[in-house]
Structure 1
Amino acid sequence: MQSPKPGLMHRLLLWRRSVDPILLSIAVACFPIKLGLDTVLLAFFGGVGIYLICGWHRSRQLIDPHYAAASLAYGGVAVAIGLYHGNVIENLRWIGLPLYFSLGIALFVGFVLIRNPVRQMALGARVGLILTVGMALFESFMGETRIGLGGNAANAAFVICVLAVMARFHASNAPKYLPNSRAWFYFAIIPVLMTGTRSVLPIFVIAAIIDIIELRTELFTAARKLGARRLAVAGAAGLVVIAAGAYETRDIVSSRIAYTMLEMGNLTGPSDKETTGLDIRINLWKGTIDVVREYPLLGVGGKESMERIKQNIPDPNASLYADFVHVHFFALDEMRDRGIVGLVFLIGLFAVVFTRIFRTTDHPMRVNMAIFLALLLLYGSLHGLLLGDRNVAAIVLVFVGVLATERKRIRRLDSSNDHQAIAA
């Protein structure tokens, strides 16, 4: 007797089991380039997740309960405080961005047919970095002084760095041309330099120090095996690559160094020189502190607080602040909008996520996520960390991808132990 042919739904699920991992890699690869394909694909996974959750499918067990509780708490507080302020329409964007973390809950279930989300994210990030360098060179040839990949240069630099961290993740059975290597991370220095964003550059120094400490034994062993001649050739090749990168980025690097010197000069005393980005940030921070002093617990809303800050800026070039929608420091941005209460729930969400990751993942992943945490702090100290769609989506994807992969691994281990117990 012949076995019955699989039904249409069964065949569709089998097909998606092979396609969904590729779609996730494509979504990650498209993140730095504003084509919209990443948004469409993540919306697809989110929609699948919402459908399965509403259908009470057993795949909802893939949701990390700690992440779900913390993200819903932060999102709920953002909505509640927004309603309390009474200016929901004007502050819809400020209220909506924290909900991205809550929407990440659906991705846990949406990734149900992807065995190892971290693997697909790593492969997609490596392809994305190659595309990013190509796009950066194209924009440079077109005359752009600070490349932004179709958007803001600082946001582009942050997303590139997020991809660089994801490219460090271990990908089992990695393809020959997308191997597991820390070199992918340092490859991202080229487009980051071309964005002219200085705040994220220390992350490469931090990562290099960590990698040297982690690999010191392997590096010494490899150097001895290579011998003096081969080591010299490898060093020369490295210098050629560094020289080529320095040549391509020489203009933007020299201009940003000169600008940094100007900022430092303005800080040391009165100056009649042009108002710099650091001058603007300091004035914004001073204005924010005044707002927080007046509304410490619940803030006054994103739009209202910026209006108050701009009105009280003493700078004679007040017109420079007209287009600013945030104050370039994540803690002050949160407090002016939702006060100390909002900041506590925001820090609580991040504390829960990183605690879960550091407790459950292996050593290499903990190292990578420590670098990611340093990136968030560096960028968030001088930019609007959680006030850009791409930025927040990238953070959510890293959180969910790492936690979902670990949760799948633990469930497979538990299932294997159950089978062994039954067999015994």
Structure 2
Amino acid sequence: MFGLIDANNFYVSCERVFNPALDKKPIVVLSNNDGCIVSRSNEARQLGIKMGAPYFEAKPLLDQHQVAVFSSNYALYGDMSQRLMSLLSTFSGEVEIYSVDECFVGLEGFEQWNLLDYGHQIRETVLLHLGLPTCVGIAPTKTLAKVANLLAKRHSQKDSSTQGVLLLDTEQKWKEALTKLRVEDIWGVGRQYAKKLHSYHITNAADLARVRPAWAKKHLGGMIGERLIAELNGVSCLEMELTPSTKKSIVVSRSFGRVVTTESELSEAVSVYASKASEKLRIEKTIASVLTVFIQSSRFKETPFYASISITLPSASSDSRVLVHYAPEGVKRIYKEGIEYKKAGILLDGICPAHSQQTNLFDERPSNPALMAVVDKINARWGAGTVFLASNGTTQAWQMLSTMRSNRFTTKWKEIPLVKG
């Protein structure tokens, strides 16, 4: 058996944890540079506010209904996600983190328990310790657990008194559940496959579960389609992925809060991004041998500009000083005057485990893992950015807009909640 735990409206729920006055009020959270709506409360959804809608288009409706609006607070959401996954790991020895707000737990050997009660215990514990509402789906396959979770969430959105836990432990239960889902709602069925299925008059999940495996193999991506049909019929084909696979590449990019025109500001931006990318490498205990820098204007320009350059490092590295040295060099070689730049980024390739590093005797900028370990330890203890490279700048006026960001309550000493007696 598998359980899928998903935090409801995760970004919105994180905001409510530290501001209880927002409970049962309409809220939306915006994307980078306050561009689009990426999370909304049920109350906002009921007002007709669309997910993904540009903020400037939705603003009149948001103002009309006095909807609380927040810029994305990734420091808060990331920390709350880590706390959520850590707490869920106490309920099972097998935990697969699927996304920032969602994870599978293996429940093999728990069959003698009342799994419905166990699902409620998980949900109530998360709410008690973190203040995050969740939904729990439990079923004999990961795909059916997804189905159970989705239906549990739908029921809780329609009726707040619904408990948010659904157990599909018999064939009768999951067959009935499949009749309530469109094929496009099934995990693993994308837009193009859904369109194809509709052309064959396969419109809901129950219809799909009845097709022959050979037909699914022919029309739905080979073995992937065959496994999907088996999973919908209660045959587990997808194992728990307990060890996250090493990333093949790492990208750090941001749109600027305002137009950037100078080479110095672009260099400062890519230095910051290179530092962040090197931190990601060190977290995964990996190193990279190829660094790509790219810069671009707004894609809505009549003649948009885009340029990139790849640099092979003398030795693969995760040292911030090494990557930050080469990133501005890349900008220097592709920068063009007279362009209004709106975005820049760093892409790292050639990633391999740090223990397999092949050093270069003649490398003028050797890595210093011990120094980086000290820097990471200081920043972990006292907050991100406590120690940073001078080339990252101090003002960073190009940073993305986040004028409505809440405090980083769990990661910044100066922004922790205050209690007044």
**TM-score bracket for the superposition, by shorter chain length:** under 0.3
Bigger share in helix: 1
Instruction: State TM-score, norm by structure 1.
Output: 0.24
Bigger relative CO (Cα 8 Å, ≥ 6 apart): 1
Instruction: State TM-score, norm by structure 2.
Output: 0.24
